[in-house]
Structure 1
Amino acid sequence: MRLSFLEPLYKQSGPFASVYVDTSRDAAVEDPDAAVRLRWRHLRDALVSEGADRDTITAVAGTVGNDRDVPGTHGQAVFAAHGHLALLDELPAPPARDTAHFGTLPDAMPLIVQHAPGIPYLAVHVHYGGRHSTDATGTVRIEAEVGTWPLTKVTPGHRLDEEIPVADWTRAAGEVGRELEGHARRIGVETVVVAGDVWARGILVHRLPASLRGQVTTVEGAGESEPGRALLEQRLDSLFQGRMAAHDRALLDAFLAERAREGASAEGLGPAASALQRGRVKALFLNDHPESPFRLWAGPEPGQLALTETELRSYGVRDVREERADAALARALVGTRAELVVVPERELRLHEGVGVLLRYADPASRS
């Protein structure tokens, strides 16, 4: 996963207020606005207790809960500094718990994890309920959406919605397929999920360009499609559960291959910090542990991090602070343009929850 979406955040200086809050608007909540206000009151008190300035708290207060147009369960990640909003992002799922932190570095890792697995996909729902014959009356309706899972739960992707007479469906399906291919190519779709009437969708699938046809997965039933949410959301949730994006899977395979031959890889917090210091990390692999007690010492620049204060000062860094390890790692990844791969622990347990694929092997390790 590339973290370029966080670059605007790290172009600003801290300290930062970092807030994660459940802003769900669903039927289970009788008065969602009142619930959000109550959550924010508790978070505001936490920011005050950590020394946040009034202007920064006001900047967050003006943002929390302003996503009333996003339906269903979701959350917000809000970052502010020096009285100004630094970054706002909608969370595809509510945070496990509402949190607020005020410190030198933004608490960005929970936001990064919510972007995973980051699977680019195309969803297609073929609506038709008539006779399975091209001499039937009526129309075939095509709903389609390209997006990146799970972000399209709260940030809709590009949509296509067309109705075509059944008599023209065999011919028009090829044109629809070519149109879908154009949208899919722009985001590098790796999965095409098709639901709807078996006869009508079968015609579409067989007329898709070959580049898409080999990526098709058909699903039965479409589930409820709530306005403003991802097309086929329930089916996609089941299909992508526990799955990694193909790009991330390739990086993990490369890491495992290098580890097996003791090549350009390392595990553990210390080796990862050392490699990030030198800009050698191509990708960092993380077992997500939100309550991890690990800490790192960090300086003003992204690559200035180490296990101990003494080590960091030995490099000539004077302004050093002890930070949460995940906050320091997130800044270093963005600053060095390394990628992050969130790895389920059931698939691979990493030493201290961290591993790195290096851009090149250490020559000393080969001697």
Structure 2
Amino acid sequence: MKLQFLSALYERHGPVASVYLDTSRDVDDPDRAVELRWRSLRESLLAHGADPATVEAAGRALGTDAPVSGPHGQAVFAAEGELLLAACLPEPPVHASARYGVVPDALPFALQHAPDLAYTALVIHRTHTMDTGNAEDELEVERESGRWPMSRVAAGRTPSRRIPVDGWAQEAEQLLAEFAEQVEARGTEVIVLAGDPWAANTLTREAPRHLHDRFVRLRDGHPRRPQPGRALLEAELRSLLAGKVPEHDRQRLDAFHAQRARRQEEVEGLAATVTALQRGQARALLVNRRARLPDRLWAGAEPTHLALSGAELTAFGVGYYWEEEPGAALIRAAYGTQAELLVVEPEEVSLEDGLGVLLRYVDTDARADGAGRKEEPWPG
């Protein structure tokens, strides 16, 4: 998973307020509940040195996701009195938190993006209309494209359309052309069809060969309408896409397995991960979901200023550094060195310390000065 969605958090230097809050609407008086949760976090930010303007900027963004129904949360980042980023989260944070520090606390936000799988959902309902006294069958088409799981609460639904049944063949041809374009441009990996069997059969029968393995047909011919602000076919997609990894990430995971088989001590565990990020050597940072990270790391002004101790940074010639929350330091280093993020379930790949790296290159001798490098073989 690429990390460009974090760019707004790293465009400026200086302290950032990072807030994670449960903003679910499935409770009595949800606005009051959000206000009470925010009140204690607000006081904590002020007590830790956040300026009032920044705290107020964060507070104004909280609760703006009110149109989204059901359980969910928000991640809000602000600095110097300005809102940097506010996003609705598909899952409420396990614990409400507010942190004011030099480095944004962005890892929990990034984890909620994974696996970042591009998909399209298409629901086709058959309806009956009366036109000049004559009954006529029409097809109501609802379509939504997104990236799972963030699109559960940030849906990009196309307005529904009504198509005469006798015009469906032409409409299907247009849809297939759009699907082919999405596969090429957005990397769409799954196209989920639900609703009228005849219309779905027509669509899949006319699909070009390279789209055949993208289609998934749902048996339910009458899927329920989504709740306000929620994704089309959310419940079905949650079951269907559970454990599915984008092909892009699957290739990187396969490459990691190959590296681990040859040099495990260089690609797995906290020390190996920190070393690779220090050197800009990581092609991807791997994190076990729900990993228990260490209590602290040490960081300096640059993303590669990352170490297990302050003495190590001093030895590198870094004159100014501080203790940093590990997740914040690691994700900043990954973003700053253009590494990707792979979030893996511990049941699938159990990592020492919950961390690993896919290397861009390996050192061919004991030196870390770049004089002895060997590029790693890379698929694709």
Q: Secondary structure, in 3 states, of the residue corresponding to 1:156?
A: coil
> Quick one: distance in 2 between partners of 1:346 and 1:290?
12
Partner residue, 1:133? none
Pick aligned residue for 1:45 from 43, 46, 55 = 43
The residue aligned with 1:156 is: 155
Question: After the TM superposition, which residues 73-92 of structure 1 pair with which residues of structure 2 at under 5 Å, given as runs?
Answer: 73-92=71-90
Structure 1 CA distance for aligned equivalents of residues 264 and 10 of structure 2: 32
Instruction: Tell me what 2:191 maps to.
Output: 192
The reply on whether 1:168 has 2:203 as its aligned counterpart is: no
Shift of 1:223: 3.4
Query: 1:300 & 1:180 partners in 2: Cα distance?
Result: 44
Question: TM-score, normalized by length of structure 2?
Answer: 0.89
The structural deviation recorded for 1:200 is 2.0
SS in 2 for 1:62: helix
Task: List aligned pairs for 1:210-289, cutoff 5 A.
Answer: 210-221=209-220, 222-262=223-263, 266-289=267-290
Question: Larger deviation: 208-217 or 13-22?
Answer: 208-217
The letter for the 2-side match of 1:197 is D
Q: Residue 238 of structure 1: SS of its match in structure 2? A: helix
Per-residue CA deviation, residues 202-242 of structure 1 (Å, 9 max, x unaligned), is 11111223332221111122234224321111110111123
1:96 aligns with 2:94: yes
**TM superposition shift of 1:359:** 0.6
Partner in structure 2 of residue 13 of structure 1: 13
The residue aligned with 1:336 is: 337
SS at match of 2:20: strand
Q: 2-side partners of 1:259 and 1:224: how far apart?
A: 46
Instruction: Supply the AA of the counterpart residue of 1:195.
Output: A
Shift of 1:345: 0.5
User: Contact between 1:121 and 1:184, CA under 8 Å: does it hold in 2?
Assistant: no
More displaced, 108-117 or 206-215?
A: 206-215
Aligned partner of 1:181: which letter?
A
Give the secondary-structure state (helix, strand or coil) at the position aligned to 2:267.
strand
Q: Which runs of 4+ in 1 moved over 4 A?
A: none
Q: 1:74-118: per-residue Cα shift (whole Å, max 9, x none)?
A: 211111122222222221221112111122211110000010110
Q: What is the match of residue 307 of structure 1?
A: 308
Distance in 2 between the 1:165 and 1:264 partners? Answer: 63
Q: Distance in 1 between matches of 2:264 and 2:33?
A: 52
Q: What SS does the corresponding residue of 1:297 show, helix, strand or coil?
A: strand
SS in 1 for 2:245: coil
Task: Determine the C-alpha separation between the residues in 2 that align with 1:243 and 1:254.
Answer: 18
Q: CA deviation at 1:156?
A: 1.8
Q: Which range moved further: 273-282 or 217-226?
A: 217-226
Consecutive unaligned residues in structure 2, runs of 5 or more: 129-134, 367-372, 375-380
Please, what TM-score do these two structures have when normalized by structure 1? 0.92
Contact 1:294 1:325 in 2 (8 A): yes
1:4 is displaced (CA, Å) by 0.9
Note if 1:297 corresponds to 2:295.
no
- Tell me the alpha carbon deviations over residues 186-205 of structure 1, each in whole angstroms, 9 at most, x when there is no partner: 31101111111222211111
Which range moves more in the overlay, 338-347 or 4-13?
Answer: 4-13
The Cα of 1:161 is off from its aligned counterpart by 2.9
**Partner residue of 2:52?**
54
Residue aligned with 1:214, SS: helix
Structure 2 residue aligned with 1:123? 121
Render the CA deviation track for 1:295-340: whole Å, top value 9, x for unaligned: 2110000011011111111111111111121111011011101001
Pair 144,210 (structure 1): closer, same or farther in 2 beyond 3 Å? farther
Cα distance between partner residues in 2 of 1:161 and 1:180: 17
* Structure 1: stretches of 5+ with no match in the other structure: 131-135
Comparing 272-281 and 240-249, the one that deviates more: 240-249
Question: Are 2:292 and 2:354, in contact at CA under 8 Å, matched by a contact in 1?
Answer: no
* Aligned-pair identity (%): 46
